[in-house]
Amino acid sequence: MERAIFTLRACSFFLAKAICFFCLFWIFSTPAYAYSSTISEPDSAYLFAYAKDKNAGREGLLYAWSLDGKQWDAIGTELAFVKSDYGRWGSEKRMINPVLFPRNGGGWSCAWQLSPENNGPYAYTFTTDFFNWGRQDYYVELNDLDKSMVSLVNNSLLDREIISINGESLRGTKLKVTWSIIKELIKHYDLALLKQKQWSERSVDDDVRFAGLKPLDVKLTPKIGQSKSISDMLVGVFFEDINYAADGGLYAELIQNRDFEYKLSDKQGHDKNWNEKTAWSMDGSGQFHIDSINPIHPNNKHYARLQGAGILRNIGYDGIALHKNERYDLSFFGRGTAGKGRQLKIRISTQDGKILDEKSLVVDSKNWKKYQLVLTANATCKDAVLEFVFTDRQQLDLDLISLFPQNTFKGRKNGLRKDLAEAIAALNPRFVRFPGGCLAHGDGIDNIYHWSNTVGPLESRVPQRNMWGYHQTVGLGYYEYFQFCEDIGAYAVPVVAAGVPCQNSGAHGHPLGGQQCGIPMEDMDDYIQEVLNLIEWANGDKNSTWGKVRAAAGHPEPFHLKYIGVGNEDLISNVFEERFTMIYNAIREKYPDIQVIGTAGPFFEGTDYVEGWKIADKLSVPIMDEHYYQTPGWFIHNQDFYDKYDRNKAQVYLGEYAAHIEGRASTLEVALAEAAYLTALERNGDIVKMASYAPLLAKDGYTQWRPDLIYFNNTDVNLTPSYYVQQLFGRNNGTEYVPVEASYSNAAVEVQKRVAFSIVKDPKDQSIIIKMVNVLPVAVNMELELAKFNLETEPAVVAQLTGELKSTTAKPEQKSVPVEKLKNQQLPPYSLTIIRIPSRAK
């Protein structure tokens, strides 16, 4: 129960995003206001702007209009034209007593209180058209605000009025505006309705939508001479330590809380059992307490002090999974004064006491010393425990107790869980982004992820609260991330905070709270230096200051870092721009070859998106990171999203995306919407450089965010249909896109847009790769005009993913097909088909 409550809190961001997203389904449930074509159009009308008390002001700024100032009609049903961006989703982001007034220099200003107390703090933004709003600014002190604004907010200059709509009394600002503004706002609402209708379309409703639809004939004719170069790193992965993806997940360590550094504050005090002793217990009369005097390292303050006789036990992450005959490295730091029983027995056992292996050693030093031995499991056990049996101890201190499988991915020490790492490698990702996500910029500036805290000997790394509501040991740190990238032949794409924390941050000591406070200016030089140090650590000579640290860890050769993300879907405020610009300019100056990836907010539109791109244009940022989690309908109806992008601007990294349905299940339906969109990304591979589905990993029972690509527990790895889509695209990437002309037997756009395709050429083996997605309830008879390709006579490989729309276990099947039989393909309803045909170089 405790955990459930905590998880709910930890996920407020996720829930709030989900609510924003799904509320579209009911916001628009009443008909659009239709203004009569018979009214004679006036020159001006009244616009009323207000916020409701409902949901404590989180519904944002709403509008009504009137010709006479007496009879009012709402514009839309609770369609917010701007919402407060301040503080946490769910609990904050309140707009109280908004007031609108003319802005110096043109347009309109809007100011509001962030809390019900009369003296602020205040937020401020502006618009020229009443639906596109500028950046939001925040003020704590009244003196910070423009004097006239203070008085406006405090009601002395501009009285708020009270109007009534359908018997509901509403308090807000009444303005006289031109009639064209009212008309545009109504149009804006109508358009929003139309989009909502399209984007909420679900394939599971196709029986009605496409009743009587006949199988479709489609002919694809490649325009061979018109091919274009596309990105060679389009499909990659996004790794974030969310859902226990790192500790208890990809990081192969089997001991939970090995360093006794868990803290109540990791879960912000919501779980009283989450503390330095979590996952540990004591049997017998022995005493076990946590001490911090003279620790092994100042960054690891706590250790276990044992006295008397007893058994100290660690339960791992809900049990330790061990495999028969596999070897496990046991290590710990110990110091102590031995009594009569000098021997310390260390064993792995089943929970009912069957010993799987046992060794003894003597902690013979009064000072901290590292002890190591190897245990071999004599049986497979999915939920074993590790035990330290001690007798007659006056004092024994233990810290950093580790049990690590030798059988890690590529046999790396302090490495990765083999099955999970193999599943990631099998995607053939061209890059790995890490460490987040929101984790990269943290919950408040004190929680920003500092890469340099995560390298070096384990005992010197700085563990910290994971903003997803648990603990990061950072045992999986920057060295391990880079090593993994190298091991799988993927570019490392680290993301550092842009000097501001997550836009879901809470207050954390600053009067204006999380996102709105950046790293103080006096600390920015140090922060920028830390970012520059990262580049030296990754690429510098082994004798350089930071290159030495990398070399000492076992990698004298550089890691060849090329890309670095600065910022993660941040709130694009003035505070952000100032800091981003400083970091960006410093990197450009010192490392002009490093490609900086900027950020354009958490949505595909809106203020952060617009303002993020403005900064990109201003600074000539080479790549911009976009994020959007949308409905399958959005992905189907927006396949032309990048067709419209200006090729002279920054390239795009679609850093986080996934199709979401109610219940957040990972079904074939969502996977096919993603597949259709991926063909559009390939078509736009000249401007879309990279894309990564998010999130990647989720541990059963510890999932804060769904859907994810891979679900796992201590023993099993379960791959979703979306995983297979990523894998099919990742393994069948190309660097040349061949445009296609398509003709259809059905002229309906609704039908045509549900058949998506792309053709690329892979220069590695000259293969022609044809990808076809059928998101229709009927078969598609696809005729492929292949004559102009210089094909080999060897058979093609055809991979197909299909099944029930609700399936969460659909897997692709693969077969070999003679080239002469490829011309006519029948694509089953709801399927992705990929044909890989060997060809000769031209």
* 458 contacts ligand AHR (rule: CB under 6 A): no
Minimum separation from the CB atom of position 824 to ligand AHR (A): 41
Task: Please select the residue that binds ligand AHR; options are 437, 469, 499, 518, rule is CB under 6 A.
Answer: 437
Task: Please select the residue that binds ligand AHR; options are 568, 607, 714, 774, rule is CB under 6 A.
Answer: 568
Minimum separation from the CB atom of position 595 to ligand AHR (A): 20
Minimum separation from the CB atom of position 561 to ligand AHR (A): 21
Cβ proximity to ligand AHR: between 308 and 655 the closer is 655
Minimum separation from the CB atom of position 468 to ligand AHR (A): 8
Using CB under 6 A as the binding rule, the residues of this chain from 782 to 811 that contact ligand AHR are: none
* 242 contacts ligand AHR (rule: CB under 6 A): yes
* Total residues belonging to the chain: 842
Lookup: tokens for 79: 């369609």
Cβ proximity to ligand AHR: between 436 and 463 the closer is 436
Taking CB under 6 A as the binding criterion, the range among 25-33, 432-440, 446-454, 830-838 that sits at the site for ligand AHR is 432-440
Q: Are 81 and 60 in contact (CB under 8 A)?
A: yes
Taking CB under 6 A as the binding criterion, the range among 286-294, 434-442, 455-463, 617-625 that sits at the site for ligand AHR is 434-442
Q: Which residue has the tokens 């590790």?
A: 386
- Binding-site string for ligand AHR from residue 631 to residue 660, where x marks contact by CB under 6 A and - marks none: -------------------------x----
Q: Exposed (0-12), middle (13-18) or buried (19+): which is 167, by Cβ within 10 Å?
A: exposed
DSSP assignments along 809-835, one per residue = S---EEEEE-GGG-SEEEEPSSEEEEE
Instruction: Residue 484: name the closest of 427, 534, 541 by CA.
Output: 427
CA distance linking residue 436 with residue 466, whole number of Å: 11
Q: Cα dihedral sign for 759, 764, 767, 770?
A: negative
Minimum separation from the CB atom of position 708 to ligand AHR (A): 9
Residue nearest to ligand AHR (CB): 437
Cβ proximity to ligand AHR: between 321 and 566 the closer is 566
Minimum separation from the CB atom of position 600 to ligand AHR (A): 12
CA distance linking residue 795 with residue 817, whole number of Å: 5
Relative orientation angle of helices 545-552 and 521-539, to the nearest 10 degrees: 50
CA distance linking residue 418 with residue 405, whole number of Å: 9
* 705 contacts ligand AHR (rule: CB under 6 A): yes
Torsion angle, alpha carbons of 674, 675, 681, 683, to 10: -150
Task: Please select the residue that binds ligand AHR; options are 316, 695, 707, 730, rule is CB under 6 A.
Answer: 695
DSSP assignments along 381-435, one per residue = EEEEEEEEEEEEEEEEEEEEEEEEES-BGGG-TT-BBHHHHHHHHTT--SEEEES
Q: Are 597 and 625 in contact (CB under 8 A)?
A: yes
Q: Which residue has the tokens 């009285």?
A: 159
**How many residues contact ligand AHR, by CB under 6 A?**
12
Cβ proximity to ligand AHR: between 145 and 439 the closer is 439
Taking CB under 6 A as the binding criterion, the range among 143-151, 334-342, 433-441, 456-464 that sits at the site for ligand AHR is 433-441
Name residues whose C-beta falls within 8 Å of residue 264's C-beta, 6 or more positions apart in sequence: 271, 272, 274, 275
Taking CB under 6 A as the binding criterion, the range among 91-99, 386-394, 431-439, 638-646 that sits at the site for ligand AHR is 431-439
Kindly report the number of other CB atoms within 10 A of residue 317's CB atom. 23
Minimum separation from the CB atom of position 13 to ligand AHR (A): 7
| Long-range pairs of 610-617 with CB within 8 A, sequence gap ≥ 24 | 610/132, 611/134, 611/135, 611/572, 611/577, 612/572, 613/649, 613/650, 615/572, 615/577, 615/580, 615/581, 616/649, 616/650, 617/649, 617/650
Q: Which parts of 90-154 fold into alpha helices (H)?
A: 147-153
Minimum separation from the CB atom of position 441 to ligand AHR (A): 9
Cβ proximity to ligand AHR: between 297 and 660 the closer is 660
* 569 contacts ligand AHR (rule: CB under 6 A): yes
Cβ proximity to ligand AHR: between 61 and 439 the closer is 439
Cβ proximity to ligand AHR: between 438 and 561 the closer is 438
Using CB under 6 A as the binding rule, the residues of this chain from 595 to 624 that contact ligand AHR are: 602
Minimum separation from the CB atom of position 673 to ligand AHR (A): 18
Cβ proximity to ligand AHR: between 308 and 695 the closer is 695
Q: Which parts of 654-693 fold into alpha helices (H)?
A: 668-683
Task: Please select the residue that binds ligand AHR; options are 158, 566, 694, 698, rule is CB under 6 A.
Answer: 694
Task: Please select the residue that binds ligand AHR; options are 85, 92, 206, 240, rule is CB under 6 A.
Answer: 240
Q: Which residue has the tokens 């939001």?
A: 136
Specify the 3-state DSSP secondary structure of 708. Answer: coil
Minimum separation from the CB atom of position 602 to ligand AHR (A): 5
* 89 contacts ligand AHR (rule: CB under 6 A): no
Lookup: tokens for 233: 């790193």
Indicate which residue of 59, 240, 569, 577 is catalytic.
569
* 755 contacts ligand AHR (rule: CB under 6 A): no
Task: Please select the residue that binds ligand AHR; options are 152, 235, 245, 438, rule is CB under 6 A.
Answer: 438
Lookup: tokens for 169: 């009394």
Cβ proximity to ligand AHR: between 656 and 682 the closer is 656
Q: Which parts of 55-99 fold into alpha helices (H)?
A: none
CA distance linking residue 133 with residue 97, whole number of Å: 18
Q: Look up 578 and say whether it is catalytic.
A: no
Minimum separation from the CB atom of position 232 to ligand AHR (A): 25
Instruction: Residue 347: name the closest of 386, 383, 378, 312 by CA.
Output: 386
Taking CB under 6 A as the binding criterion, the range among 209-217, 381-389, 436-444, 742-750 that sits at the site for ligand AHR is 436-444
First to last CA, the chain: 65
Cβ proximity to ligand AHR: between 236 and 803 the closer is 236
Cβ proximity to ligand AHR: between 568 and 651 the closer is 568
* 237 contacts ligand AHR (rule: CB under 6 A): no
Specify the 3-state DSSP secondary structure of 180. Answer: helix
Residues involved in catalysis: 569
Note the residues at the interface with ligand AHR (CB under 6 A): 240, 242, 436-438, 568-569, 602, 656, 694-695, 705
